[in-house]
Amino acid sequence: MIGMGILKGMAVTLRNFAGSYFDKERLITVQYPEERNPLPENYRNFPFLIYDGNDPHAGLRCVACQICEKECPPQCIYIIKSKDKKPDYVGKPQFYPAVFDIDISVCMSCQICVEVCPFEAIKMDKDFELSKRERFDNLLSRKEQLSKSNEYYHKIHPIEAVTVDKNLADAAAAAEAKKKAAAEAAAKAAAAKAAAASAPSSVISPESATGSTSAPGEKPAETTTPPKS
Ligand code: SF4
Ligand code: SF4
């Protein structure tokens, strides 16, 4: 029947309207900004940089490899590599970004920078209240603004962050095992070299061992007794 769909829709609206006086679950609007709906796990806005621990500089995971800068489709990432190095999460000396800017007026939230980063250093933020009065310099997010702790990452993407932590812990354990194996191999090689150096230098020749003057494999020369006269 024509108009049946409209009537059914109106019935749902009416039921929710009347029900919202008795059941809070039927209230589908929230009093923003005092009230907020929780954002889903995979919601994303603009990227941010992760640091471990409490020091945003020492714990910054980014090693300024510039892969994300090259891969960003609208080219809105700007990085200057440091001159010196600092230890990364496995203790290996690495460069870090002296400058790391993202122009969020250009960023299209595609997440490609996150996908290509080999160091789990850049992730997507959920912060959407970013309106500014000035639309040029204020929309350029600097390293200091972009750097956020791993605890913050756990808060906004709890499931993803646990997987990332596990991947990093596995990588650190593998690096430690490799280092240990290399140290053991070096110690063994040094011990073998020392043993070879302390061994006696005289080598017992086959001749002296057998008392024979013939070459190895050659039949020993027969000794002939001179006939008695
Ligand atoms: S989300 Fe996309 S557009 Fe934005 S910085 Fe990353 S790669 Fe560039
Ligand atoms: S965020 Fe990742 S891909 Fe980008 S420079 Fe840092 S380590 Fe490299």
What pLDDT is recorded for position 228? 46
Q: How far apart are CA 43 and CA 127, in angstroms?
A: 10
Ligand nearest to the backbone CA of 51: 2
What pLDDT is recorded for position 85? 95
- Summarize pLDDT for 151-177 with one digit per residue, the tens: 999 999 999 999 999 999 998 899 889
Q: Are 27 and 92 in contact (CB under 8 A)?
A: no
Question: Does 124 contact ligand 1 (Cβ within 6 A)?
Answer: no
CA of 15 to the centre of ligand 2 (A): 52
Pocket test for ligand 1, best of 46, 110, 123, 139 (most atoms within 8 A of CB): 110
| pTM to 2 decimal places | 0.74
Q: Are 122 and 47 in contact (CB under 8 A)?
A: yes
What pLDDT is recorded for position 81? 97
**Which contacts (CB < 8 Å, 24+ apart) does range 131-135 have?**
135/105
Smallest CA separation from ligand 1 atom 3, residue? 107
**At 104, phi and psi to the nearest 5?**
-75, -5
Atom of ligand 1 nearest to the CA of 77: 5
What pLDDT is recorded for position 4? 92
What pLDDT is recorded for position 137? 84
Q: Are 100 and 49 in contact (CB under 8 A)?
A: yes
Q: What are the Cα distances from residue 4, in Å, to 1, 10, 11, 12, 17?
A: 6, 10, 11, 13, 20
Q: Are 89 and 63 in contact (CB under 8 A)?
A: no
Between the CA atoms of 50, 77, 106 and 75, what dihedral angle is there, to the nearest 10 degrees?
Answer: -140
Pocket test for ligand 1, best of 67, 75, 77, 146 (most atoms within 8 A of CB): 77
What pLDDT is recorded for position 214? 46
Nearest to 60 by CA among 11, 12, 122: 122
Nearest to 107 by CA among 130, 133, 134: 130
Ligand nearest to the backbone CA of 110: 1
Question: Does 77 contact ligand 2 (Cβ within 6 A)?
Answer: no
Ligand nearest to the backbone CA of 81: 2
DSSP lists the bridge partners of residue 97 as 81
Chunked in runs of 10, what are the mean pLDDT values of the chain (229 residues)?
Answer: 91 91 83 90 96 94 97 98 90 94 96 96 95 86 96 96 94 90 93 85 50 46 46
- Summarize pLDDT for 110-131 with one digit per residue, the tens: 999 999 999 999 999 999 999 8
